[in-house]
């Protein structure tokens, strides 16, 4: 995989990349996330926000777009 030559992708550790990714999401997707943006400050914030976005997409598409993993679907059903 070829990654862009930007500071975001030039992180030396996974932790550094995670911090940079969270900051990037906060900057770029502030309007989309609204108050959910505060969740990114939690230790598992990326996962929580991902789940909320997947659920929102599923709800808005009336189930036509389903990015929720099958194991999560079985638990919710």
Span 43-60, average pLDDT: 91
61, 37 in Cβ contact below 8 A?
no
12, 20 in Cβ contact below 8 A?
no
What are the tens digits of pLDDT across the range 11-47?
788 888 888 889 989 999 999 899 999 999 999 999 9
The full set of domain ranges for the chain reads 7-76
Task: Name the pTM for this structure.
Answer: 0.67
Rounded CA-CA distance 6/20 in Å is: 11
Looking up tokens 């992708």 gives: 9
Span 58-73, average pLDDT: 80
* 32-59 burial: b if 16+ Cβ within 10 Å, else e: ebeeebebbeeeebeeebebeebeeebe
């Amino acid at each position: 995989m070829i990654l862009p030559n930007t500071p975001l992708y030039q992180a030396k550790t996974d932790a550094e990349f995670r911090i940079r990714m969270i900051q990037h999401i906060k900057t770029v997707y502030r309007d989309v996330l609204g108050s959910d943006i505060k969740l990114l400050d939690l230790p598992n914030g990326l996962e929580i926000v991902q789940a909320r976005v997947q659920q929102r997409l599923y709800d808005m598409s009336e189930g036509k777009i389903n990015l929720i993993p099958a194991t999560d679907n079985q638990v919710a059903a």
